[in-house]
Chains A and B, each alone.
Chain A
Amino acid sequence: MVYENPDGVRIGLEVHVQLNKLNTKLFCGCSTKYHNSEPNTHVCPVCLGLPGSLPVINERAVEFAMKIGLALNCSIVEQTQFHRKNYYYPDLPKGFQTTQYDYPIAGQGKIMIEGEDGERVIRITRAHMEEDPGRLQHMGSIDRSKGTLINYNRSGMTLIEIVSEPDMRSPKEARRYLDKLRSILDYLDVFDGDLEGAMRVDANVSVFNGERVEVKNISSFKGAERALLYEIMRQKNHIRRGGTITLETRHFDEARGVTLSMRTKEEEHDYRYFPEPDLVPLRVADRVPEVLKTLPELPDAKKERFMKEYGIADMHARALTTEIKLANFYEEVAAKVDPKAAAVWIADILKGELNYRDLAIDAFTVDDIVDIVELVTSNRITEQSGVEIIRTVLDHGGKPQDIVNEKGLLKVEDDIVAKAVGEAIAENPEAVADYLAGKEKSLNFIVGKVMQKTKGRADAREAREKVLEELKE
C-alpha cells in the first residue's frame, strides 16, 4: 500500500524541549526546580538580564544537547557559538535571546516513524541550544486584558530546538513523530515531559506544495494534531474559493480549535543576529566518542532486541518499548515468567487498563503482574479472572492471591463443570431442542446456565466446548 497524499500536505515541526532534568539553568546557577514556586524566586542578575552580569555555559547542558543530537542521528558540529537574537518583548529581560544561529550544535539527522504506509524516515534539519524566555500571563482575556504579569523563573532555562524537514504528510504522521521524539527523549533521561511547558511545538504546513504557514502556540501533542487538521482544512477551503496561500504566521487558539492570523512586522533580518560577545565559542566535537558511550539502548534497537530475545510479535515489542519505564517493567517480568505471556498481559491488557484510568506503569508492581501471569498460565484462574484481578488491584488495591481467595476465583475442577453442563442440559430441554433445530442463540443460554451454576468460575470457552460435546452425542 502506498500513501498517495492527495492534498500534497507537507508538515515540518519545530519542537522546543526544556531540559528540566539539569540542576541549573543554561547560563547561571539558578535552580531549574521552579515549577511549584512563587513567581520570581528562581532568578539572579544573569537570567534577569541586569547590566554587568555575565553568562557562563552549563557544561552538562552541552552534554545533554550532544546526547540528543547523537540520538537523533545528527552530526555534531566542529565549532559552534551563541548569537544574540534581538527583539523587544517583556518575556526577554535582556532585549535579546541567546541562541545558536549559523552553526547549530547538531545537524542533519533522522528518525524513523510509523508512517501512513509503513516505516518512514523523517529528516532532522538541526538541533540547537537556546535560553527559554520568561512567562507572561495576561490579566483577563487577551483582547480585554488590563496588563501583563511577568514571571522570570523560566527565563534562562535550557531549551533544545529540534527542527525537522517537511517530511510528514498528515497530522497523524506529525503526531507519530512527536510521540517518537518524546520516547527518545525519555530514554535519554534529559527531561521530564510531564512538567508544564516541557515540550512546545510550532508547525510549518503547506498543501498542494504551495507556500507554508507557520502555526505557533501549540502546547500539547493532541493540540498539534488538532491545529494541523484545522489548518489543512482552512488552506484547502481558501484555495477552493479561489484564494492563494501566502507565507504567514498563525496563532493556535486551543480553546476554540482554530488558527488565527498574527500580523507581525518583524522578519528574520530584523532580529539582527550577531555573535554573543560575552560567551566564547564551543569546540566539543572531540567529546563525541565519550558521549556516545553514555547513550542508552534507544527505542528502535530495544524493539529489535525484544523480538529476538523474547520471541514476541512486532506489535507487542513496539508497544512495550515506546516508554522506557514500561520496557524496563516488562524485562523484569519476562525474567520471571513466560516472556510471551508477559508481553500479552502487559502490552494488551495491563496497558489498556492503565490507559483507561489515565495511570502510568508505576501504578502496578512487577510482583503483582508476575503472580497474575503465573496463575493464568498454570491454569488455576481464567483469563477473565486475571483481568478482574488487575482491575481490583488498580481500583481498590490488594494482592492478587488475596483477591483470588476473597472472590473465590480459583477455577473449578473439570468434573464440577461437567456436572453443571449435565444439569444445564437436563433442566433446559426447550433450549436444547431449539439449538438442535438451528437456533444458535440457545447455545449461549445453556452456557450461561453453566456459568451461573459454577458462579462464573468456569472458563466460558471451556464450558461452551463441553456443552457442544454433550449435545453432539
Chain B
Amino acid sequence: MITKEEVEHVGWLSRIEIDAKQSDSYAEKLNSVLDYFGQLDEVDTEDIAPTYHIADIVNVFREDEVTESLSQKEVLANTENKQEGNFKAPRIM
C-alpha cells in the first residue's frame, strides 16, 4: 500500500510539488497500478534466471572514435536561461 506520505516523498525526490488534496488521489491511483502489476507475483519464477534485458543479446559496443559534437549555439537553443555559454539554473545548495 502506498500512503499519502510516500506520495509526497516521491514527489519531493522528483522535485514535483504535490499538494495535500492531490496526494490522496495519487495514492489511490498508484495503488491500483501496483495491484494490477501485483498479479505478476502469482507467477512461479523459482529456478528461472533473471531477465536482464528483453533483447537476448550482450556486448554491443562502439569504437573509441570521436564524432562531431553540437555547437554551443545548438546546445543552448532550447533554453532562455544562459550565461557565457553555460546553462543557468537557480541557486543550488
Give me the interface of A with B, judged by CB distance under 8 Å: 22-24, 28-31, 38-45, 48, 56-62, 79, 81, 86-90, 136-139, 142, 145-152, 265-266, 270, 272, 275, 277, 279-284
Asked if B45 is at the interface (CB within 8 A of a chain A CB), the reply is no
CB distance from B12 to the nearest CB of A (A): 7
Question: Cα distance A38–B72 when bound, in Å?
Answer: 8
Question: How far does the alpha carbon of A87 sit from the alpha carbon of B12 in the complex, in Å?
Answer: 10
Can you give 17 A-B contacts (C-beta < 8 A)? Answer: A30-B67, A41-B69, A43-B69, A43-B75, A44-B68, A57-B60, A57-B61, A57-B62, A59-B64, A81-B53, A147-B90, A148-B88, A148-B90, A150-B88, A151-B87, A266-B13, A281-B52
Tell whether, in the assembled complex, residue B53 and residue A31 are in contact, meaning their CB atoms are under 8 Å apart: no
- Does B75 contact A23, Cβ atoms closer than 8 Å? no
- Per a CB cutoff under 8 Å, which of B54, B66, B71 touches A24? B66
B44-93: which have CB < 8 Å to A?
52-55, 57-72, 75-76, 83-93
- In the complex formed, the residue of B with least CB distance to A86 is B13
Residues of chain B within 8 A of A81, CB atoms compared: 52-53
**Assuming A41-B71, A57-B62, A88-B15, is B57 touching A150 (CB within 8 A)?**
no
Q: Are B66 and A39 in contact (CB under 8 A)?
A: no
B39 at the interface (CB under 8 A from A): no
Secondary structure of the B contact surface, majority rule: loop
Contacts of A24 in B (CB 8 A): 64-67
Say whether, besides A31-B66, A147-B91, A275 and B53 are in contact (CB < 8 Å): yes
B68 contact set on A, CB distance < 8 A: 29, 44
**In the assembly, what is the distance between CA of A59 and CA of B75, in Å?**
26
Question: In the complex, what residues of B have CB within 8 A of residue A29's CB?
Answer: 62, 65-68
Q: Contact between B64 and A61 (Cβ–Cβ < 8 Å)?
A: yes
Given A29-B65, A39-B85, A277-B53, 8 more pairs with CB closer than 8 A:
A44-B67, A57-B60, A59-B62, A146-B91, A149-B83, A150-B88, A151-B87, A152-B87
Contact B89 A150 (CB under 8 A): yes
- How many chain B residues touch the partner (CB < 8 A)? 37
Write out, one digit per residue, whether chain B residues 4-29 have a CB within 8 A of any chain A CB (1) or not (0).
00000000111100000000000000
The interface residues of chain B lying within 8 Å CB-to-CB of A59 are: 61-64
- CB neighbours of B58 from chain A (8 A): 79, 280-283
Chain B residues whose C-beta falls within 8 Å of the C-beta of A57 in the assembled complex: 60-62
Select B88's contact among A42, A147, A270, beta carbons within 8 Å.
A147
Q: Would you list the 4 A-B pairs with minimal beta carbon distance, nearest first?
A: A29-B67, A59-B61, A149-B86, A60-B64
Are A90 and B64 in contact, with the CB atoms below 8 A? no
B-side contacts of A149, CB under 8 Å: 83-84, 86-89
B59 adjacent to A280 (CB under 8 Å): yes
Chain A residues near B62 (CB, 8 Å)? 29, 56-59
Contacting residues, chain A, for B67 (C-beta < 8 A): 24, 28-30, 44
Chain A residue with minimal CB distance to B14?
A: A88
Are A44 and B69 in contact, with the CB atoms below 8 A? yes
Q: Give every chain B residue within 8 A of A283 (Cβ-Cβ).
A: 58-59
Chain A residues closer than 8 Å to B75, beta-carbon distance:
40-41, 43, 48, 152
- Contact among B57, B64, B85, B87 with A58 in the assembled complex (CB-CB below 8 Å): B64
Q: A299 CA to B86 CA in the complex, in Å?
A: 42
Bound complex: CA of A30 vs CA of B59, how far in Å?
21
**Are B69 and A30 closer than 8 Å at their CB atoms?**
yes
A61 surroundings in chain B (CB, below 8 A): 64
In the complex, which residues of chain B have a beta carbon less than 8 angstroms from the beta carbon of A28?
67
Closest Cβ–Cβ distance, residue A217 to chain B (whole Å): 13
Q: Which of B53, B65, B76, B90 contacts A281 (CB 8 A)?
A: B53
* Contact partner, A56, options B55, B61, B83, Cβ 8 Å: B61
Shortest CB-to-CB span from B73 to chain A, Å, is: 10
Chain B residues with CB under 8 A of A23: 64-66
The chain A residue with its CB closest to the CB of B78 is A50
CA distance A396 to B15 in the complex (A): 60
Chain B contacts for A40, CB-based, 8 A = 72, 75-76, 85-87
How far, in whole Å, are A59 and B58 apart by their CA atoms in the complex? 12
A87 touches B13 (CB 8 A): yes
Alpha-carbon separation in the docked complex, A86 to B57 (Å): 25
Chain B's closest residue to A42 (CB) is B69
Q: With the chains together, A20 CA to B58 CA distance in Å?
A: 26
Once bound together, how far apart are the Cα atoms of A22 and B65, in whole Å?
Answer: 9
Inter-chain contact B70/A45, CB cutoff 8 Å: yes
Q: A14 vs B6: C-alpha distance in the bound complex, in angstroms?
A: 31
Contact status of A280 and B66, CB under 8 A, knowing A40-B75, A41-B72, A148-B88? no
Nearest-CB distance from B72 to chain A (Å)?
5
Given contacts A29-B65, A29-B66, contact A142 B93 (CB under 8 A): yes
Q: Cβ of B91 and Cβ of A148 under 8 Å apart?
A: yes
In Å, the complex CA distance between A284 and B88 comes to 41
